[in-house]
Amino acid sequence: MPVISSKALRMPASPIRKLVPFADEAKKRGTTIYHLNIGQPDIETPQSALNAIRNFDEKVIEYSHSAGNESYRNKLADYYNKEGITIHSDNILITTGGSEALVFGLMSTCNPGDEVIIPEPFYANYNGFSVTAGLNVVPVTANIKEGFALPPIEEIERKITAKTKAIIICNPGNPTGYLYSKEELEKLSQIVKLHDLFLFADEVYREFCYDGAKPTSVMNLKGIDENVIMIDSVSKRYSMCGARIGALISRNMDIMNAALKFGQARLSPPTIDQIAAEAALDTPKVYFDNLIEEYVERRNILVDGLNEIDGVYCPRPKGAFYCVAEFPVDSADRFCQWLLEEYSFEGQTVMMAPASGFYANAALGKKQARLAYVLNKDSLKNAIICLKEALKVYPGRDK
């Protein structure tokens, strides 16, 4: 029997899904689970997108263009221009989710064996995409006590070697919710320019900024147009994660042409989902106003609630819909599993994502977990009560 590949062996299993069998068992026992473990929002997909799907009236579901439908790319360019990001539709490649955009971007720019620097904790699937492209992740640790701000630029610079090809950030960040300031991004842009690196920014949470904060896109950093690749997706913006429509965006036409060749090999992104994504661009501003209001309230309930629990610490993030909290426990992995396997309070429990999977060095996240505030306010309040009660009786609680 032939052996599977070394990449397959290196490929990490999803840290979020490790707990799924325990959750399934809990459900079988009749326990209500508050799913704060995944970024699947409960927000309704905009009506315009759903209508576009229901009104699909072609007789054949044909391939679209490999770069995405021209009408969608034009309209998406308009969206960015309105957001203050000046680009042309030629700077946009429509992909199957943000995931494919990042893989195409990495494959187009980095050689196997190259290093990519990523502030940690980071979105766990960046590990998988790096393995896919044959790259080595070099983490720079951000500190929970500083709310997961960008680590000092000197620390990042010290990690740069002859093999470093790119820096990857997520802004606003998954899993931390941290929103990088313009100053932080400008510091990054200086070392990107000085060391001739590519800068990838996953900006899929752009719309989710709170307390009046405005996101700075890497596309607006001066003097590094050729270095910047922005990753985007409709998944979170329009609560249509299952549409799998993303985009790779760059002003570097060598990258765009290279990425298109990867795009041609896989023929096209999904056709009907693109039509829905294009229609979603008509979503009125009030949708987002309501969304932001809702998420701010949810965040406050969750973050305030967490910080009110004895021994728990959680910074208040300004973006996305996640936070990372530190718990007074022996191991967040064990705590999260215990919550599903052995615990319930009034028939309810909480599912969280242990943060160990978001760090290259799992030990750094040992006491931390990511919580997504993608449930309604009452559920979040109940989840907080569950956690508070759980920590009173959890056997591995810090003494």
Does the footprint of a copy of itself cover residue 270 (CB under 8 A)?
yes
Tell me how far, at minimum, the Cβ of 233 lies from a copy of itself, in Å: 10
Does the footprint of a copy of itself cover residue 254 (CB under 8 A)?
yes
Largest CA distance in the chain: 66
Does the footprint of a copy of itself cover residue 8 (CB under 8 A)?
yes
Size of the site for a copy of itself (CB under 8 A): 80
Does the footprint of a copy of itself cover residue 2 (CB under 8 A)?
yes
Tell me how far, at minimum, the Cβ of 188 lies from a copy of itself, in Å: 15
136-141 β-sheet, strand order: 92-95, 246-249, 228-233, 198-202, 164-170, 115-120, 136-141
Interface map 127-166 toward a copy of itself (x if CB under 8 A): xxx--x-x------------------------------x-
Tell me how far, at minimum, the Cβ of 240 lies from a copy of itself, in Å: 4
- The residue (of 234 and 332) whose beta carbon lies closer to a copy of itself is 234
Does the footprint of a copy of itself cover residue 198 (CB under 8 A)?
yes
Which letter does DSSP use for residue 168 in this model?
Answer: E
Residue in 176, 240, 227 with CA at minimum distance from that of residue 201: 227
Tell me how far, at minimum, the Cβ of 5 lies from a copy of itself, in Å: 5
Q: Which residues make beta-bridge pairs with 115? A: 136, 164
SS3 of residue 243 by DSSP: helix
Tell me how far, at minimum, the Cβ of 287 lies from a copy of itself, in Å: 14
**Cβ pair 248, 229 in contact under 8 A:** yes
- The residue (of 178 and 198) whose beta carbon lies closer to a copy of itself is 198
| CA angle, residues 285, 200, 224, in degrees to nearest 5 | 95
Which letter does DSSP use for residue 4 in this model?
Answer: -
| Cα-based distances in Å from 316 to 177, 212, 303 | 8, 14, 6
- The residue (of 1 and 363) whose beta carbon lies closer to a copy of itself is 1
Single out the residue of 119, 147, 173, 269 in contact with a copy of itself (rule: CB under 8 A).
269
Structure-block tokens of residue 96: 């199957």
300-306, Cβ contacts within 8 angstroms, sequence gap of 24 or more: 301/373, 301/377, 301/380, 301/381, 301/384, 302/36, 302/371, 302/373, 302/380, 302/383, 302/384, 305/380, 305/381, 305/384, 305/388, 306/371, 306/384, 306/387
Which letter does DSSP use for residue 351 in this model?
Answer: E
Does the footprint of a copy of itself cover residue 169 (CB under 8 A)?
no
Does the footprint of a copy of itself cover residue 354 (CB under 8 A)?
no
Single out the residue of 37, 45, 337, 368 in contact with a copy of itself (rule: CB under 8 A).
45
Interface map 81-120 toward a copy of itself (x if CB under 8 A): ---------------xx-xx--x---xxxxxx--------
Does the footprint of a copy of itself cover residue 213 (CB under 8 A)?
no
Candidates 70-78, 85-93, 256-264, 333-341: pick the segment binding a copy of itself (CB under 8 A): 256-264
Q: Which residues contact 376 (CB under 8 A, 6 or more apart)?
A: 42, 298
Candidates 47-55, 177-185, 324-332, 342-350: pick the segment binding a copy of itself (CB under 8 A): 47-55
What length does the chain have?
399
- The residue (of 182 and 266) whose beta carbon lies closer to a copy of itself is 266
Question: How many angstroms separate the CA atoms of 395 and 329, rounded?
Answer: 9
Question: How many angstroms separate the CA atoms of 287 and 291, rounded?
Answer: 6
Candidates 150-158, 191-199, 329-337, 346-354: pick the segment binding a copy of itself (CB under 8 A): 191-199
Candidates 144-152, 176-184, 238-246, 303-311: pick the segment binding a copy of itself (CB under 8 A): 238-246
Q: 229-262 burial string, b = 16+ CB within 10 Å, else e?
A: bbbbbbbbbbbbbebbbbbbbbbbeebbebbbeb
Tell me how far, at minimum, the Cβ of 74 lies from a copy of itself, in Å: 17
Single out the residue of 31, 33, 36, 41 in contact with a copy of itself (rule: CB under 8 A).
41
Single out the residue of 31, 64, 344, 368 in contact with a copy of itself (rule: CB under 8 A).
64
Q: Please tell me whether the peptide bond between 317 and the residue prior to it is cis, using omega within 30 degrees of 0.
A: no
Single out the residue of 19, 255, 281, 360 in contact with a copy of itself (rule: CB under 8 A).
255
